[in-house]
Structure 1
Amino acid sequence: MKSISVIQLLLAAAAAPVRAAASWKNVNIGGGGGFVPGFVFHPTEKGVAYARTDIGGLYRLNADDSWTAITDSITTDDKWNNWGIDAVALDPQDPDKVYAATGMYTNSWDPNNGTLIRSSDRGATWSSTELPFKVGGNMPGRGMGERLAVDPKNSKIIYFGARSGHGLYKSTDGGVTFSKVSSFTAVGDYVVDPSDTTGLNNDKQGIAFVTFDSTSATTNGATSRIFVGSATNSTSSVWVSNDAGATWSAVAGQPGTYFPHKCKLQPTEKALYLTYSDGTGPYDGTAGAVYRYDITNGTWKDITPVSGSDLAYGFGGLGVDMKNPGTIMVASLNLWWPDAQIYRSTDSGATWSPIWEWDGYPNMNQYYGLTTPNAPWIETGFLSQDTKHLGWMIESLEINPLDSDHWLYATGLTVYGGHDLTKWDTVHNVTIQSLAVGIEEMAVLGLASAPGGSELLAAVGDDCGFTFKASSDLGTSPKTPWMTPQWASSADVDYAGNKPANVVRIGSGSGAQQVAVSSDGGASWHAHNGTDTTKSSGTVAYSADADTIVWSSGTSGVVRSQNQGTFTAVASLPSGAVIASDKRNNTVFYAGSTTGTFYRSTDTGATFTAVSDALGSAEAVRDIIAHPTVAGELYVSTDAGIFRSTDFGVSFTKLSGLTNTQSISLGVGSASGSWNLYAFGTGANGNKLYASADAGATWTDVQGAQGFGSIAVASSKVLGSGNVAGQVYVGTNGRGVLYAQVSVSGTVPDATSSSSAPVKTSSTAAAAPSSSAAVKTSSTSYAAPPTTATLTLSSVKTTSTVGAELAQHWYQCGGVGWTGPTACVSPYKCEKQNDYYSQCV
């Protein structure tokens, strides 16, 4: 993400809009969908546990194994980084108290410093303390931890291990204020890539964990012995204080070579267990170790489950059974083939049993049964398609301290767990299920709702996408993701207005064709063979009759395909153009540039003509939407607000009430034949989601207290339902798709009754279409648009790099197997993130 200046809230001249009493909830994609770096159980209170995610906030466990999101209310547009959770801590003496360190990135992508949030009612309400530095919930090494800990003998004392070389911080007033521990000098100076200029991989990863020894004595009202790990692969990576933090020293005899990830105390044994890897995770690690430290004797023991050529991965997840001393579990951090591995020991690591083993390759003995009834798409889309059933990126593994049968672990996809864990020690076969109900950590990249067609089409990152045929399906996890073809991420989706069963989607991968079409509303798909394997990502527009696709790709400029033919360049549009199709007239497409120029095409996207000064003083087009049922009516979102046209983009009227608008959409209104206009923008209540039933004459705040994260930086997507009155969706970057029913009153004016004067776009009036030009589709009649001959093309804004083979900002530009462009649009540079992925930043 790119750093931006804080958007200054502008007060509208009109009175503050009405706040709609909307109740937001998640569309049930289910299964989690993202990375959960850590779980924390309360040591004494049954049923109290939390899951932290890297981009989706904090979740609280419910009695039925489901989860409730508890940080939405504090994740507003100006504090969108509160969905990045870098550490969690509970107060051992008070089960109602929970603390978390929030912040997304330590580099310029995140404009805000980190925050330490605290709650005394299990996350129902929050107080916060801003830190003097940034926190990186989505930075490398985020699976280490926990970096935050409450003194088990003094609830006022809290320690937090910072990133970026800032060291160790301490609070003595229950998290209200923090100060640096000057006596602690370790900073965790490891960086993944010192040559990285983005600040992502060249930042010091800092402190890895803080672990109190609750068995130690009390010094001045505080626990005397504290262990702190740092991101250093040396014999001074783990530190100890025996005088309640007054002085510190490296623990004697500790192993070197690897980075410590997790450190947990087994108080009955008076021992620490630690997992190590040669990478800081969550993607890397080709070797590692597991150690036991005897606190009383001050001795270390290597208890790594495997050795020699079998040791081809590091270790992350670590579970310690508090009811059965000596019982521990560890997980491979990244074992990419054939599957992850989990080990269990009942004798303090002297011997281990695996969850699977070879029975003469390629046969495998699997000592578990794994099902995903809560999210069936995981089975059909992933488990049945890959050898990796148990997962990958396993940094979190916990055994419930009050129930030895209950365990949880998380992968890069979902949360797994079960309730018969002790069977491992007898019949050596356990039951595993996906237990991520309520966790919706999807990054939503595109949304569509087709009137008379599928209610919701959601293009998402990492898990491709999903179709919800009807509104009644929104509460049921889909049986399958988008498949045949299935990509890691789908970048956008659109439908054909006159043939709503026809849908197109695009992917953001490489090495395969990234366009797919459906003729049954997204229930099934087939690859569009008109594209090659170099074009990827961006946005897509489908013509009204489903014969033409215009694709503003992220790699090859704007391209077009007609009748399943080869995609060819649209030379008249700049790279990165915003595009849309008229939903009723098959010949018309619209486009806009990042410099504020509006374009229109009346030859099914073959050529586009710039409309002179169409959008007045606007300097950037953010979104374009065409009316779902009225030909020629469209809305354009810009940095100056929203513009409306009812003549196919020949002339525009600027709507009042909102400025600096982002994503916009039309959805079925409450009155017969009416449509609501939804918009993210700056209005009387700040930068929020608003709705209007009268084409912008009045606006209603429909967001209320719900947080959607960033409106601009992370590009929250708004979508009005094409079928259900007053239903509106928001696609987020990390919390999936949220939706609500809203009530908005008003009547849409016709083109001549608006109180705002239209913006003149031509000195020649558009000729009225003849009656013979009228086209009839179903029960809706619409007129053919004015031809381009009626437009005056003087004083048109120009842009550079039309159709250039350059990757857009944030798109992929390199990596193993990448065949797309390796250069970026100015001023961005292609920076390596790992061996398989480079990005324009």
Structure 2
Amino acid sequence: MKLSTLQLLLAAAAAAVPVQAAFSWKNVHTGGGGGFVPGIVFHPSAQGVAYARTDIGGLYRLNPDDDSWTAVTDSLATDEKWGSWGIDAVALDPQDPNKVYAAVGMYTNDWDPNNGTIIRSSDRGTTWSSTTLPFKIGGNMPGRGMGERLAVDPSNPRIILFGARSGHGLWRSTDGGATFSRVSSFTNTGTYIPDPNDTSGYNSDKQGLAFVTFDSTSSLTVDGATSRIFVGTADNTTASVYVSTDAGTTWSPVPNQPLRFFPHKCRLQPVEKALYLTYSDGTGPYDGTLGAVYRYDIASSTWKDITPVPSSELHFGFGGLGLDLQRPGTLVVASLNSWWPDAQLFRSTDSGETWSPIWEWTSYPDMNMYYGMYTDSAPWIGKGFVERDSKRLGWMIEALEIDPTDGERWMYGTGLTLFGGRDLGRWDENERNVSIRVMADGIEEMAVLGLASAPVSGGGSELLAAVGDVSGFTYRTEAELGTAPEKPWMDPMWASSTDVDYAGNKPASVVRIGNSAGSPQVALSSDGGGTWAVHPGAGTTQFGGSVAYSADGDIILWSPSNGGVVRSQSQGTFTAVSSLPSSGVVAIASDKRNNTVFYAGAGNGTVYRSTDSGSVFVSVSSGLTGVTSVRDIVAHPVVAGEVWVSTNAGLFRSVDYAATFTKISGLTDTQHISLGLGGDAGKWNVYALGRGASGAKLYASADDGRTWVDVQGGQGFGALSACRVVGSANVPGQVYVGTNGRGVFYAKGVVEGGGGTGTTLSTSTRSSTSMTSTTTVSVPTETDSYCEPETTTESSTVGLSTSSAKTSTTSSARTTSTSSARITSSSVGSTSTTSSAIATPTALAQRWGQCGGIGWTRPTVCVAPWTCKYSNDWYSQCL
């Protein structure tokens, strides 16, 4: 039939309509930052224009009205370019507040496969262009708090200088950042190497250049370029500060400079025509036991030691440095790391002649604190850190800035959060009561190590997040996702929690794992993660790894990072599961309805099943087609016997307790997976991080894997292998992604498809049905009612480790990006594999996993093509 023009237009319009609405991603709110902020940069003249850089969480732009922040580099952090969340330097154009530049890359060794880039934006980070450099950049390398290494010439903004690491020297752009070339006349490349014996390259790389500072008070030369430029290097033996007086054509060491320490921050005070510099005997951010503060008078070429305390009283170096440009001669400096009793901040109003500390001893152990600490925007920082640790003011203080347009507003970054306030003038001797507040709203910089979502109707919580460096958080309901938690996981509280799980038939029963050696690292909750108690059967030698809780909450299977899989029943002592390999188990899971069934997966591709509550496991999957590595195992939340396995070859599904598996087409190289409540009653979506038609993305299926939808769109999650995913057990179509550096994202939408339910076989069986490896098993069609959880009474407080804490919080959840999801269809494959005799896999550590260190007893050889790289005496990693 011939179609009319109108019919053709209508058909074309219908075809253009997207099959599925875009998923809009935003952060779960913590309100406190949660990680290291090594640099803050204010525009010198445009009010309210500022950026904060993080080491693993990207770049943030200040929202000046409420001092909140907006992430501006999420779109860059794809799976292939995950290092884009490492920001090693930031620079603003003094003549144009809309222009911002950043040096981007995570590591200079082979951990990051990509070379570094200089990114540039003309719309305050809304869109970016990038220039790839012929070397790597280290936003998460030692010395990342120095800076800034990147600077724009205030007289000619087409000139940009960048101080590189790894011996690559000084680089210049003369076209606004489109291209860069090396400045051959600058020959000192920063010779300091923290540990020449470190074979991983992390501590054995040259620290390189520390800062670039243009002197806006100098006369102009050819093409209007600033003639006087200062550059700092990580060198404490020959010279660390160099100067050019001919716009960078020639360079020489600044005469009579201090040589004992490394420069960290350098700031120009143009009215005084002076430089202020902080020094430490280490390059940071964790070290430093001595240091100094100097003032360099540019006109007279003289140095003056203005260190706030005598050298005999120093036990720290200096990092953060802020100048009040509204009040020449007023500045604030910070100790880099004063691990006890607290950090110290000093303020001077006379160019460093005299200093006023922010606290001082009265009679030990009492202090006079000349400040008030306020954590109302992130209460968990107060309850979990400030009230429990002597280090109230923080640690790793490299960033400290005073707003050049408003001397009352100041900020400083720590290893935990971003502090600051709007009444710096109250530091005056007459008042001595400056306000310090958490000012990290919108900075969500956490490494998320485990996620779970349990039915709230059974006493569970909508979201449980195990987090590196700041323990973890419980969000009871969807309504709490936009509110900063009142407290982190506490009593016991560990620096990091590596995994969390709940009992399928008793969702209020939760178990979590800590990563602090030397104390029990298993905690239980009987109220959905609200309160916790130490597991009475946990020892003090095992830590980290993954955990699985049995359906009825009486058995825990634990695969610690420093030993073989262990098991505890009825809160008894953990004992080894001898039928599983002593190393190489990378995934464990419990059937969420049948209390007798557990699953385990090894790095060599073998899947195991236990039908006697985790006592004995047998191999059930030696014939999985193309599988050489298991990545994740997930049991269906309400259907007994249905289990999904993620592998290098993609997804496999079983509906008969892993007796047989069906290959799921459409995705390959999958990582973490999950099931979540679907859009229709009784339906469940499958979520998988893997490679599909749209590339390496987060995909969803509503029809048991027959079709897959790209639900990630343009939102960056960084490296998919480091992400965690969980579908909501309560909110239809809602899914969470935990990232390695940007906290937890969540989105809600309708996934088009048939609506997966899990295959139902003919005979029902309740969750208490026992199994043996030779039994033909039926899958239940009903779900069991939730039972009241057993009460756990044991409790204990474990010492808190507070080095390099990573946290992230915001007072209101912010949408970071939206994009249309794309559909790709494929049929479910029919290949099946059956259970086989138990086999012991070759012991191999997985990519990113630990493979060595003092006391390490698990695999020391990595799966191909990765190799074991030394980081320090306690830790080596497969990279």
Q: Give TM-score scaled by structure 2 length.
A: 0.88
CA distance 1:769–1:411, change in 2 (3 Å): closer
Q: Deviations over 1:663-722 (max 9, x none)?
A: 11100001110000001111111010110000111111100000000012xx11111000
- The code of the aligned residue for 1:576 comes to G
Residue 163, structure 1, aligned to residue 172, structure 2 = no
CA contact (8 A) 2:591 2:636 kept: yes
Question: Following the alignment from structure 2 to structure 1, what is the Cα–Cα distance between the partners of residues 756 and 129?
Answer: 45
Whichever residue aligns with residue 288 of structure 2, its letter is: G
1:45: which partner in 2? 46
Q: Cα 1:766–1:300, aligned 2, differ >3 Å: closer, same or farther?
A: same
SS in 2 for 1:723: coil
Q: Is the 8 A contact 2:87 2:103 kept in 1?
A: yes
Check conservation: 1:823, 1:829, Cα contact below 8 A.
no
CA 1:776–1:689: 2 relative to 1, 3 Å: closer
- Deviation string, structure 1 residues 368-391 (Cα, Å, up to 9, x no partner): 000100100001001111111001
Structure 2 CA distance, aligned partners of 1:196 and 1:471? Answer: 46
1:576 to 565, 584, 604: 584
What residue number does 2:176 align with? Answer: 174
Choose from 800, 810, 813 the match for 2:842. 800
2:836 paired with 1:833: no
- Residues 287, 313 of structure 1: 8 Å contact kept: yes
Q: Indicate how the Cα distance of structure 1 residues 26 and 775 shifts in structure 2: closer, same or farther if over 3 A, else same.
A: closer
> Counterparts of 2:410 and 2:757 in 1: how far apart (Å)?
61
Deviation for aligned residue 1:591: 1.2
Residue 701 of structure 1 is aligned with which of 704, 710, 715? 710
Match of 2:111 among 95, 109, 112: 109
Which residue matches 1:375?
378
Distance 2:624 2:754 in 1: 24
Contact 2:619 2:836 in 1 (8 A): no
The answer to whether the 8 Å contact 2:559/2:566 transfers is: yes
After superposition, residues 235-384 of structure 1 pair within 5 angstroms as 235-384=238-387
Q: Secondary structure at the match of 1:699?
A: strand
> C-alpha separation between the residues in 2 aligned to 1:274 and 1:360?
32
Aligned to 1:486: 493
Q: CA deviation at 1:753?
A: 11
User: Per the alignment, do residues 513 and 353 of structure 1 end up closer, same or farther by CA in structure 2, a change over 3 Å counting?
Assistant: same
Identify which of 439, 446, 449 aligns with 1:442. Answer: 446
Could you say if the C-alpha distance between residues 655 and 812 of structure 1 is closer, same or farther in structure 2, counting changes exceeding 3 Å? closer
Question: 2:782 matched to 1:778?
Answer: no
User: 1:410-809 counterparts in 2 under 5 A?
Assistant: 410-425=413-428, 426-452=430-456, 453-574=460-581, 575-577=583-585, 578-712=587-721, 715-748=722-755, 768=776, 777-778=784-785, 794=836, 798-801=840-843
Describe the shift of the 1:202–1:345 C-alpha distance in structure 2 as closer, same or farther (beyond 3 A): same
User: Are the aligned partners of 2:638 and 2:783 in contact in 1 as well (CA < 8 Å)?
Assistant: no
Superimposed CA distance per residue, residues 216-259 of structure 1 (whole angstroms, 9 cap, x where no aligned partner): 01111200000000000135110000000000000011011000
> Structure 1, residues 271-316: CA drift from partner, whole Å, max 9, x if none?
0000000000000000000000000000000000011331111000
- Distance (Å, rounded) in 2 between the aligned partners of 1:792 and 1:90: 61
Contact 1:113 1:134 in 2 (8 A): yes
Judge which range, 456-465 or 793-802, deviates more: 793-802
Which string of whole-angstrom CA distances, capped at 9 and with x for unpartnered residues, describes residues 527-552 of structure 1? 01212111011110000000000011
Q: Is the 8 A contact 1:808 1:824 kept in 2?
A: no
CA contact under 8 A between 1:19 and 1:704: conserved in structure 2? no
Distance 2:283 2:148 in 1: 14
Question: How many pairs are equivalent?
Answer: 796
Answer whether contact 2:627 2:648 (CA < 8 A) is retained.
Answer: yes
Q: Which structure ranks higher in relative contact order (CA pairs < 8 Å, sequence separation ≥ 6)?
A: 2
- Note if contact 1:678-1:690 (Cα within 8 Å) is conserved in structure 2: yes
Aligned-partner Cα distance in 2 for 1:612–1:40: 55
Determine if contact 2:517/2:543 at 8 Å carries over to the other structure. Answer: yes
Shift of 1:829: 5.0
SS in 1 for 2:23: coil
CA distance in 2, matches of 1:611, 1:245: 67
Q: Distance in 2 between matches of 1:255 and 1:248?
A: 18
Percent pairwise identity? 66
Tell me the distance in 2 between the aligned counterparts of 1:354 and 1:267. Answer: 25
Rounded Cα–Cα distance in structure 2 between residues aligned with 1:155 and 1:739: 39
Q: Distance in 2 between matches of 1:592 and 1:487?
A: 27
Q: For residues 84 and 637 of structure 1, what CA distance do their matches in structure 2 show?
A: 28
Between the aligned partners of 1:591 and 1:823, the Cα distance in structure 2 is: 17
Q: Quick one: distance in 2 between partners of 1:793 and 1:413?
A: 48
How far is the alpha carbon of 1:838 from its aligned partner? 3.2
After TM superposition, give the deviation of residue 18 of structure 1 in Å. Answer: 5.6
Structure 1 residue aligned with 2:191 = 189
Find the aligned partners of 2:178 and 2:272 in 1 and give their Cα distance: 34
> What is the CA-CA distance between 1:798 and the residue it aligns to?
4.0
SS at match of 1:505: strand
Structure 2 residue runs without a partner (length 5+): 1-15, 762-771, 788-832
Deviation at 1:614, TM superposition (A): 4.9
Q: More deviation in 590-599 or 515-524?
A: 590-599
Q: Out of 856, 859, 871, which is 1:821 matched to?
A: 856
- Correspondence for 1:24: 25
* Structure 1: stretches of 5+ with no match in the other structure: 1-14, 755-763, 781-790
Confirm or deny that 1:201 pairs with 2:213: no
Cα distance between partner residues in 2 of 1:335 and 1:500 = 43
CA distance, structure 2, for counterparts of residue 162 and residue 308 of structure 1 = 32
Aligned to 2:141: 139
1:83-94 equivalences under 5 Å are 83-94=85-96
Query: How many angstroms apart in 2 are the aligned matches of 1:482 and 1:159?
Result: 45
SS of the equivalent of 1:378 reads: helix
SS of the counterpart of 1:382? helix
CA distance in structure 2 between the partners assigned to 1:156 and 1:99 by the alignment = 12
> 1:136 & 1:812 partners in 2: Cα distance?
23
AA at the equivalent of 1:831: Y
Query: Which position in structure 2 is the counterpart of 1:761?
Result: none
Does the Cα contact within 8 Å between 2:639 and 2:783 map onto a contact in 1? no
2:810 alignment partner in structure 1? none
Higher deviation after alignment, 422-431 or 403-412: 422-431
Report the 3-state secondary structure (helix = DSSP H, G, I; strand = E; otherwise coil) of the residue aligned with 1:347.
coil
Shift of residue 196 of structure 1?
Answer: 0.5
Residue 390 of structure 2 aligns to a residue whose secondary structure is coil
Rounded to whole Å, the distance in 1 between the matches of 2:739 and 2:835 is: 39
Give 1:596 deviation, angstroms. 1.0
Aligned partners of 1:515 and 1:378: how far apart in 2?
23
Q: 1:80 to 1:750 in 2, by over 3 A?
A: closer
- Residue of structure 1 in register with 2:62 after alignment: 61
Q: What residue identity is the alignment partner of 2:861?
A: S
CA distance in 2, matches of 1:508, 1:68: 31
